[in-house]
Structure 1
Amino acid sequence: MNNNVEQLLIKKNCTIKDALGVIDNGAKGIILVVDGDNKLIGTITDGDIRRALLKGLKLEESLQDFIHYNPVVAYNDMGREEIKDIFIKKAVKQVPILNREGKVERLLDINDLLLPEGKENFVIIMAGGLGTRLKGLTEELPKSMLKIGQDPILQHIINNYKQYGYNKILLSVNYKAEIIQNYFQSGYAYGVKIDYVKETKRLGTGGGIRLARGYIDKPFFVINGDIFTNLNVENMMDFHINNKYDLTVGVRKHGFTIPYGIINSEKCIIKSIEEKPTKEYLINAGIYCINPDVIDYIPKDEYYEITELINKCIKQGKRVGSYEIKEYWMDIGKIEDYYKVNEDVSELLCLDKEGEKNND
């Protein structure tokens, strides 16, 4: 069973108040009633609870009387078309997926079937930042919802992954999370499937990844929610897998010019002088490919930065690689970065459209 479905499960002997809490946490409008072995007994929707309360039932009363004991279900060994047929014939929007022993595996939404199947790799977008360096712009909006051109940064990130077939998105949210959730909802309108993991306190990039553990069983992407790029993400994942890395860090060449003449000397004898040389370094670009087992290095419910995870992997003898990003890339950390990328975006989007035409 995927851990992300655990938040939808409730035992038969619980109360209406308990059920309300599970529905609120699960955010799916439905909960799954199970026995001690997680075998499905029935389902309850938020509408069922509303109707029970209107009839005068108290929060402390048992939920047993309004459980749907014979829900529509499907099984994990059924094909996609067979499951789709169940949705159509039974006219339902959600179906619990069970194994043949009757244990809950996951909850499937009709939108999951209507979307293109896509690739199995999840994309985790870290969208919970406060954006303190962009004050004035982020007082009303989370940083990842600031517009680049006509659309929020997050939408550009999602679209870039979607065009390469990565349509399973996890948004790690915190600051003003409701704005992001109200905008993107399930992601269906944007051609992707979006789930949300919520930080109740600041956890850093590493801690945010840990919250997504239950979803992940294949190599996955992590990207900061303030990165604007047209990176070919498929090439990066192929590089990660083909080189058998455990963690791949997207890197970017960054140079800066020293505004003075640099003296190279030995024992007070000048050997040469360089006038205003440019030094070049590889910097962390905030985009990663990570194998699922690496998540186990991240402590639960603790603030943990991605740099700590990278260093931990190196110390443990894991294969940690770097992938140079040569496409357009901008970390929107400062107000001047935000204005610069908005100046660049029109030209970039035109180039992307020309590329699409040439590929047709």
Structure 2
Amino acid sequence: MKVVILAGGKGSRLAEETGSKSKAMVRIGSDPILWHIMKYYSSFGFSHFVVALGYQAESIKKYFESEGSGPVIEDGPRTIIHPRSEPGWTVELIHTGLETLSGGRLKRLAPYLGSNPFMLTYCDGLADVDLGRLLAFHTAHGRLVTLTAIHPQARFGGLSLNGDRVAAFQEKVVDPNHWVNGGYFVLSPKVFDYIAGDSIQWEREPLADLAAAGELMAYRHENFWQCMDTLPESILLNDLWHTGKAPWKRWAPTTITSGVAVSPPLLRPALEATS
């Protein structure tokens, strides 16, 4: 199963980092967030990546080329790389235009994705979603799209008022009844019929139309999820990584044997449907 990663946006809210590189190349520790996302998927056995490029596309391409690879295949807008530092990975980098919106970027990938279901996520969000359960949930319901639903992060604390008097101050709380799109999709290729072209944003008309048609299902994720839209969020993710508290790190350390990077085998969890 292929994993599509949307990495073509300008990341304007993280301008401190994205003036000279793609948002996907902003570092967490010594590696870009894009690598962290790929490592997470590959820890579940998904290691064929299709990355939609746009703004600062060359920064992503240069990163993978600098990691060392086998023969690099250039095919029109597509570059295929097999990074030596990550044995078993196939990375397809596909330029989808500078101004193309997220739905248009996805549709431009249609010729490279075949007829099987595929996964989709963004280049700026990390989570500890159980991808095995997510896929099992999608397979069980038989609809075209599954998105991962998360509770939005509270930005502010709350006030408990007694008339005009502040009776208590509440720390940031999460509303257990409020859900938003957290990415981490599983899609049927039939979704391309819902995307008209480059000017379509995936999160608007296509998802609304799929919901109206009864083809959009939500996999509820109650645990860790964190986007990286701003510099404070980048600092937070780096703090989690450097203190050894990163919930998304589920892969074993890589060892070096005869100059070749080798990752110890990882057990892929059984695919179970969730209620």
Counterpart position of 1:149: 29
Structure 2 CA distance for aligned equivalents of residues 202 and 305 of structure 1: 14
> Where does structure 1 lack aligned partners over 5 or more consecutive residues?
1-120, 264-269
Correspondence 1:127 to 2:7: yes
SS at match of 1:342: helix
Give me the CA root mean square deviation.
2.8
Q: Which runs of 5+ in 2 are unaligned?
A: 66-80, 254-263, 268-275
Larger radius of gyration: 1
> 1:321 aligns to what?
217
Separation in 1, partners of 2:23, 2:129: 20
Structure 2 length as normaliser, TM-score?
A: 0.74
Structure 1 CA distance, aligned partners of 2:167 and 2:119?
41
Change over 3 Å in CA distance of 1:348–1:243 after alignment to 2:
farther
Runs of 4+ in 1 over 6 A off after TM superposition: 354-359
Q: 2:208 maps to which residue?
A: 311
The 1:279/1:153 distance shift into structure 2, 3 A limit, reads closer
Contact 1:227 1:330 in 2 (8 A): yes
Would you say the 8 A contact 2:237–2:246 is kept in 1? no
User: Which stretch shows the higher mean deviation, 343-352 or 148-157?
Assistant: 343-352
- What is the number of residues matched between the two proteins? 230
TM-score by length of 1: 0.58
Q: Deviation of residue 262 (structure 1)?
A: 5.0
Q: CA deviation at 1:215?
A: 2.3
For the 8 Å contact 2:40–2:250, the answer to whether it is kept is: no
Match of residue 345 from structure 1: 241
Matches within 5 A, 1:255-294: 256=154, 259-261=158-160, 275=168, 278=173, 280=175, 281-294=178-191
Cα deviations by residue, 1:21-56 (Å, 9 ceiling, x for unpaired): xxxxxxxxxxxxxxxxxxxxxxxxxxxxxxxxxxxx
Aligned to 1:165: 45
Change (3 A) 1:245 1:306: same
Contact kept? 2:125, 2:225, Cα under 8 Å: yes
Deviation at 1:231, TM superposition (A): 2.5
Residue of structure 1 equivalent to 2:230? 334
Identity of aligned residues (%): 21
Secondary structure of the corresponding residue to residue 254 of structure 1? coil
Q: Quick check: 2:7–2:54 contact (8 Å CA) kept in 1?
A: yes
Note if 1:235 corresponds to 2:130.
no
Cα distance between partner residues in 1 of 2:45 and 2:266:
19
After superposition, the Cα gap between the structure-2 partners of 1:244 and 1:335, relative to the gap in structure 1 and judged at 3 Å, is: same
Q: Check whether the contact 2:3–2:46 (CA below 8 A) recurs between aligned residues.
A: yes
Moved more, 188-197 or 170-179: 188-197
More helix by share: 1
d(CA) in 1 for partners of 2:223, 2:61: 29
1:250 deviates by 1.0
CA distance in 2, matches of 1:159, 1:289: 18
Give the corresponding residue for 2:260: none
8 A Cα contact 2:101 2:198, kept in partner: no
Cα deviation code 1:50-91 (max 9, x no counterpart):
xxxxxxxxxxxxxxxxxxxxxxxxxxxxxxxxxxxxxxxxxx
Equivalents in 1 of 2:56, 2:265: separation in Å? 38
**Match of 1:188?**
83
The question of 1:214 aligning with 2:111 is answered yes
Per the alignment, residue 105 of structure 1 pairs with none
Q: Secondary structure at the match of 1:245?
A: coil
1:75 match: none
The 3 A distance-change label for structure 1 pair 188 and 354 is closer
Matches within 5 A, 1:110-125: 121-125=1-5
Task: Identify if the C-alpha distance between structure 1 residues 149 and 312 changes in structure 2 by more than 3 Å, giving closer, same or farther.
Answer: same
Mapped partners of 2:82, 2:27: distance in 1: 18
Q: Quickly say closer, same or farther: Cα 1:140–1:319, change in 2 above 3 A.
A: same
Give the deviation of 1:237 after TM superposition.
Answer: 1.4
Contact 1:213 1:295 survives alignment (8 Å): yes
Tell me the CA shift for residue 146 of structure 1. 0.9
Tell me what 1:225 maps to. Answer: 123
- What one-letter code is carried by the residue in structure 2 that aligns with 1:324? R
- Rounded to whole Å, the distance in 2 between the matches of 1:140 and 1:342 is 20
Per-residue deviation, 1:184: 1.8
Local SS of the residue matching 2:158: coil
**1:162, distance to aligned residue in structure 2 (A):** 1.3
